Amino acid sequence: MKLGFIGLGRMGAAMAANLVKVGHDVSVFNRTPGKSSPLIELGAHEAADIVGTCGGDAVITMLADDGAASDIAFGDGGLIAHLPKGAIHVSMSTISVALSKRLTQAHARAGQHYVAAPVFGRPDMAAAAKLFIVAAGDPATIETCQPLFRAMGQKAFPIGTEPSAANLVKLSGNFLMASAIEALGEAVALIGKAGIDRHAYIDLLTSSIFNAPVYKIYGGLIAQGKFEPAAFAAPLGYKDIRLALAAAESLRVPMPLGSLLHDRFLRILAQGGNHLDWSAIGGLAAQDAGDAPGMPTALMPSIR
Amino acid sequence: MKLGFIGLGRMGAAMAANLVKVGHDVSVFNRTPGKSSPLIELGAHEAADIVGTCGGDAVITMLADDGAASDIAFGDGGLIAHLPKGAIHVSMSTISVALSKRLTQAHARAGQHYVAAPVFGRPDMAAAAKLFIVAAGDPATIETCQPLFRAMGQKAFPIGTEPSAANLVKLSGNFLMASAIEALGEAVALIGKAGIDRHAYIDLLTSSIFNAPVYKIYGGLIAQGKFEPAAFAAPLGYKDIRLALAAAESLRVPMPLGSLLHDRFLRILAQGGNHLDWSAIGGLAAQDAGDAPGMPTALMPSIR
Amino acid sequence: MKLGFIGLGRMGAAMAANLVKVGHDVSVFNRTPGKSSPLIELGAHEAADIVGTCGGDAVITMLADDGAASDIAFGDGGLIAHLPKGAIHVSMSTISVALSKRLTQAHARAGQHYVAAPVFGRPDMAAAAKLFIVAAGDPATIETCQPLFRAMGQKAFPIGTEPSAANLVKLSGNFLMASAIEALGEAVALIGKAGIDRHAYIDLLTSSIFNAPVYKIYGGLIAQGKFEPAAFAAPLGYKDIRLALAAAESLRVPMPLGSLLHDRFLRILAQGGNHLDWSAIGGLAAQDAGDAPGMPTALMPSIR
Amino acid sequence: MKLGFIGLGRMGAAMAANLVKVGHDVSVFNRTPGKSSPLIELGAHEAADIVGTCGGDAVITMLADDGAASDIAFGDGGLIAHLPKGAIHVSMSTISVALSKRLTQAHARAGQHYVAAPVFGRPDMAAAAKLFIVAAGDPATIETCQPLFRAMGQKAFPIGTEPSAANLVKLSGNFLMASAIEALGEAVALIGKAGIDRHAYIDLLTSSIFNAPVYKIYGGLIAQGKFEPAAFAAPLGYKDIRLALAAAESLRVPMPLGSLLHDRFLRILAQGGNHLDWSAIGGLAAQDAGDAPGMPTALMPSIR
């Protein structure tokens, strides 16, 4: 297929590369220049602007947040103004339910198709084409996108015809992951202060009843008290919990554990932890217990 | 080995049966009579009292709570008074850290060995000899117990020389499971009220990043809103969270998610849910959202 | 002084009346017509639109929320476009810190003065000119407004030169009140379920260490389980807690009790309690305890 | 009346002195010697042991906790063994509901009267005979005690015939105070980080809608960030919240704000704050916000 791809961060660059590798004709664009060279070497074309990505069957976007996704889509030089009638916007960014609904309406008015297809997976999974893709939108359009999903992920899950459903599922999945991190943080604080070996504990759990990658990856980081470098930074985790809670507000669904996570992330940011991995919230229980191995001093409250 | 086994509830009966099946000579006892017949048929001996289980190398106990475990161990007719010097008490019940410490000291004073070896797994896993066993105590004693653990479980994890460490690990594991239940409850309330299919959602999650049995089992129950019959009843879940928090108090470890779970369980009990599975706490978020499929009316607050 | 007054709800109408009574020349306007007759009878002038309130020294606004306050201020027919240079906008609505900052900048650019002066007090206190007024802005401008504050309230408290400081103080005050309501709700649920007389309990507390009106008013409502008619409706309470938390997010201040209140209000709204007084959150603890006298059935979760 | 008085800490000594001053014949006893001299000078008699306090109409106890109160009452040399039939035990300590019930039964079996009469007020109020006394028990017995209550307090509130009701009311009152402290802590963290003067803020609140002593006293301490010396130490506050939650567990009343307070106190203790006033929990919100003036370094988490 002839494609555009906008957003060449760590996730997007890996995803675009996988599309090129299986033979798609991809024009790539990133607002901050200097990200496209490796893709050009693989055979992608460089687009000078958003318009330059709009000449084919579909444009895929993989952007940092609502602000970026909104800037790319709306306005004179944006996707909605330039995508041909009948073309598809495959929005794979983690964005709000509200923005996804706005995009759905705007593309429909412009005679374009819109599919929300956010992903689960860290950059290494993106590079290995092992992402899990959650897709929602018109079934025929999703069917058209399946070859793209197969190039980028190990599996695509259709979850309905309303695109924003996919965004809500993605946000709720990040909520579930952050919940597991908080739970691990409290459990490790508890057994660690009792003198039990933290790593042996995580090995035990993840070799038995908690044998999911989430527990292995984050349990290991928490046992080690090592939250940098960030694979997924704390401000992004905070953003996603806020978007989940914003959707919960609209739907009138109280989420007390969501609120706890919100406050945990806010505390990390308040204490200078913007550079840390989002799993740093899993170090706060040990900090509260006065027993925080490896918590960087940047996170210690300042004294006047 | 010549063994005693005390506590023939659903878990204990299945575990004792597996010991008999691999050829151990097992004398069984239950305080409430009428539980031993299937085991006698398999080849176990019936003991008339605790003393009658104390003639061999080890006695295994699998009891409901601290009260039962304490009654069996202490007092004139109890294990500590009658177990031979050098024999082993293998305590597999989920009991408090504090009681485990008392038992450690009492058995040591009596010249007996004490191993704490609580298990992860529901009755079906006990029947299939698939339990995960967490063992702590003197290494030589644990080594002696390995054939017993192999008969009852798929794997035994040594976690230190202080028996109570195993109890704390078990309690923290139940805390982690209850945390996953609460997180699932909030996530399902959120996506369910948005009109997304609850079962498709759980399938999606547990086919991708949350592929652990905990998420499959409890996610399914929550999606269905089906909390009875109980495989592990809410009062037992409440008990375990209280024991985890009691240990956390002694160690001075604040656990805000633990406190949230405590209040969730208390609410289930307050509203008449003693007969429900502990995963019923996963129905409260939907109840709070005014959108609770399948929540039994017994859980609805009464009006005066 | 020659004044405009915009916003003739229960609070605004009473405040405007007090300004007229002490002799000010007041032109009144309300977007929904039919609210001005009693004021006209007292001697106020009716303004046909916002422009009609802008002919004097100051315009006072008392509006329901950010949306209304923003509509009145911005746009072609708004205050900023029509207030004379040097005139004062006295914004007494409970609005967000963010909107107050926008208004500060917009009025400054237009050569106008802006004072934020939100109030504490229910409609009966407004009618009795007993409001407490929190004022922030340029000191000279606040000085000019003192006669107005004296006509409407029992005391005005200057709290700095940055107008949004007054809005934050107001929001934090509502947070403190809601916190007292939640605490009373839990305490009354506790002693009530123990069989202690709820009214005697509130009398005892408010005759001794909790002798503030907040505890008397809300303690009485909670003891009675009577949350309608609403003096200050639950959606308004929810709005104010959200605005307080929004300010806390911007400032990076985790507020766990604020989050608890947020979830309590959301639950009231989810369960159909829009018509209830905001103190209805004080009935939820008793509901959770299965012991909720007077909780309207509208608040009971529906069963499918 | 001829009285015994046991427990001569800061509160008890002041209360006993007031009884002596109005002419009662008081025999005083304290387990740790050296506390009675000022009382002897006032005219009290020194009792050598508990028995020595049991020769009159009533014995008043004012002890630190359940442990002390239990030791004094039970056992061979205790109150229950030595108080004459028909005499009264006036228990003014802050103890658990469970212990109060045990005392009620034990005294009844011994033919003695038991009144629970815990107090609200700090040592300065005890010295000024300004305590608020919450009394429960047999009405005739409470009537007999009224002259004693008048000597020690400004008002006595009867709250039922079941003595433990008074204890529950006292515990719930401390819960309400701790709730106000937490709320003030979050509010002051919020406005303080926005640059608003903390002291001006507390003055404003306590001159208007929050004109109760609790807000004045604790608001001032929190604004100042000054939590030592302790007038009521953090471990005592923790104890009382735990007793309130223990009663709530027995009654099946979930108290989420109570749980939050529990975790706040536990954190203070975990971080070395045993010597601080219980209002130190009001400093934690500012600590979480990275903006904690005056928080002692002893409360900063240690780094390994």
User: What are the chain A neighbours of D290 within 8 Å (beta carbons)?
Assistant: 270-272, 301-302
Q: Which residue has the tokens 């042996």?
A: A200
> Is C303 in contact with B302 (Cβ distance < 8 A)?
no
> The domain containing residue D25 runs over which residues?
2-161
How far does the CA of residue C253 sit from the closest CA of chain A (Å)? 7
With respect to residue C27, please indicate whether it lies within any of the assigned structural domains: yes
**Strand, coil or helix: what is D272?**
coil
Residues B24, B156 within the same domain: yes
Give C122's pLDDT tier (boundaries 50, 70, 90): confident
Q: Does B247 touch chain A (CB under 8 A)?
A: yes
Query: Taking Cα atoms as reference points, which of A190, A195, A153 lies closest to residue A282?
Result: A190
Task: Give the CATH number of the domain where residue C239 resides.
Answer: 1.10.1040.10
Mean pLDDT of D138-146: 97
Of the ranges B250-259, C253-262, D225-234, which one carries the lowest mean pLDDT score?
D225-234
Task: Quote the pLDDT of residue B133.
Answer: 98
Statement to judge: residues D222 and D265 lie in one domain? yes
Is residue A83, in this structure, part of any structural domain at all? yes
Same-domain check for residues C10 and C127 = yes
Q: Higher model confidence: residue C75 or residue D263? A: D263
Hey, how many other C-beta atoms are within 10 angstroms of the C-beta on A122?
15
pLDDT number for residue B217: 95
From the list B2, B101, B170, B226, the catalytic residue is B170
Residue B269 lies in a domain: yes
**Inter-chain residue contact A259 with C264, CB threshold 8 Å:** no
On whether residue A59 sits in a domain, the answer given is: yes
pLDDT at C292: 75
List CB contacts (< 8 A) between B267 and chain C: 288-289
Chain C CB contacts of B270 below 8 Å: 288-291
Q: B-contacting residues of A 180-209, CB under 8 Å?
A: 180, 182-184, 186-187, 189-191, 193-197, 200-201, 204-205, 207-209
Q: Are residues A43 and A185 located together in one domain of the fold?
A: no
CA B8 to chain centre: 14
Q: Are C11 and C28 in contact (CB under 8 A)?
A: no
CATH code: domain of residue D118: 3.40.50.720
Give the pLDDT of residue D303: 27
Q: What is chain A's mean pLDDT, rounded?
A: 94
Is D34 within 8 Å of chain B by CB? no
**From CA C249, how far away is CA B160, in angstroms rounded?**
44
Per-residue pLDDT of C67-118, as tens digits, reads: 999 999 998 999 999 999 999 999 999 999 999 999 999 999 999 999 999 9
Does the pTM of the predicted model rise above 0.80? Answer: yes
Q: CB-CB: which of A177, A180, A257 is closest to B186?
A: A257
* Percent of residues, chain A, with pLDDT higher than 70: 96
Q: Which of C170, C193, C216, C226 is catalytic?
A: C170
Same domain for C228 and C118? Answer: no
For C140-188, the pLDDT digits (tens) are 999 999 999 999 999 999 999 999 999 999 999 999 999 999 999 999 9
Q: What is the pLDDT of residue A75?
A: 87
**The pLDDT of residue D153:** 97
Q: In whole angstroms, what separates CA B129 from the centre of its chain?
A: 15
D298 inside domain: no
pLDDT tens for each residue of B26-46: 999 999 988 999 999 999 999
pLDDT category of residue C293 using cuts at 50, 70 and 90: low
- Mutation for B interface: D251, D252, D267, most B CBs within 10 A: D252
Q: Mind spelling out the 3-state secondary structure of chain A? A: CEEEEECCCHHHHHHHHHHHHCCCEEEEECCCCCCCHHHHHHCCEECCCCHHHCCCCEEEECCCCHHHHHHHHCCCCCHHHHCCCCCEEEECCCCCHHHHHHHHHHHHHCCCEEEECCEECCHHHHHCCCEEEEEECCHHHHHHHHHHHHHHEEEEEECCCCHHHHHHHHHHHHHHHHHHHHHHHHHHHHHHHCCCCHHHHHHHHHCCCCCCHHHHHHHHHHHHCCCCCCCCEHHHHHHHHHHHHHHHHHHCCCCHHHHHHHHHHHHHHHCCCCCCEHHHHHHHHHHHCCCECCCCHHHCCCEC
pLDDT tens digit string along A155-206? 999 999 999 999 999 999 999 999 999 999 999 999 999 999 999 999 999 9
Reported as a single tens digit per residue, the pLDDT across D82-112 is 999 999 999 999 999 999 999 999 999 999 9
In this prediction, residue C85 carries a pLDDT of 96
So what's the pLDDT on residue B301? 41
Does residue C229 belong to the interface with chain A, where contact is any CB pair within 8 Å?
Answer: no
Structure tokens at C280: 């209805």
Residue in B closest to A292 by C-alpha: B253
D170 as an active site residue: the answer is: yes
pLDDT digits (tens, 9 = 90+) for D190-212: 999 999 999 999 999 999 999 99
pLDDT tens string C32-47 = 988 999 999 999 999 9
Asked if residue D181 and residue D246 are part of one domain, the reply reads yes
Given a contact cutoff of 8 angstroms between Cβ atoms, the answer to whether B170 and B118 are in contact is yes
Beta carbons within 10 angstroms of residue D246's beta carbon:
14
Q: Which residue has the higher pLDDT, C260 or D291?
A: C260
User: Which chain C residues in 258-297 lie under 8 Å from chain A, judged by CB atoms?
Assistant: 259-260, 262-264, 266-267, 269-270
Q: Is residue A300 part of a domain?
A: no
Cα gap B68→B74, rounded to integer Å: 10
Give the end of a domain, one of D99, D133, D161: D161
A contacts of C268 (beta carbons < 8 Å): none
Chain B: give the shortest CA distance to residue D252, in Å. Answer: 5
SS3 call for D136: strand
Q: Radius of gyration over alpha carbons of chain B, in Å?
A: 20
B30 and B172 together in one domain: no
Asked whether residue C23 falls in the same domain as residue C80, the answer is yes
* Boundary (domain end) residue, out of D140, D161, D182: D161
For D172, name the nearest residue in chain C, comparing CA atoms only. C187
Q: Are A39 and A172 in contact (CB under 8 A)?
A: no
Alpha helices, DSSP H only, in B53-122? 66-73, 79-82, 97-109
Q: What's the domain count of chain A?
A: 2
Q: Residues in chain B with pLDDT < 50?
A: 296-304
Mean pLDDT of C240-258: 98
Same domain, B121 and B179: no
D249 at B interface, C-beta within 8 A: yes
Q: Are A167 and A116 in contact (CB under 8 A)?
A: yes
Same domain for A7 and A137?
yes
Residue A299 lies in a domain: no
- Mark which of C161, C188, C206 sits at the end of a domain: C161
Any chains having at least 3 CB pairs less than 8 A from chain A are B, C, D
Whether C125 has a pLDDT exceeding 80, the answer reads yes
Q: Give this complex's ipTM.
A: 0.94
d(CA D50, CA D54): 7
Whether the pLDDT of residue A45 is over 80: the answer is: yes
Q: Are residues B17 and B151 in the same domain?
A: yes
- DSSP letter at D274 equals T
Give CA angle at B64 (B60, B67), nearest 5°: 100
Residues A197 and A270 in one domain: yes
- Domain-embedded: residue B177: yes
**In the numeric block, which tokens belong to residue C214?**
């907040």
Q: In chain A, which residue's Cα lies nearest the Cα of C248?
A: A266
Q: What percent of chain D has pLDDT over 70?
A: 96
- Cβ–Cβ of C248/A266 closer than 8 Å? yes
Distance CA A58, CA A77 (A): 17
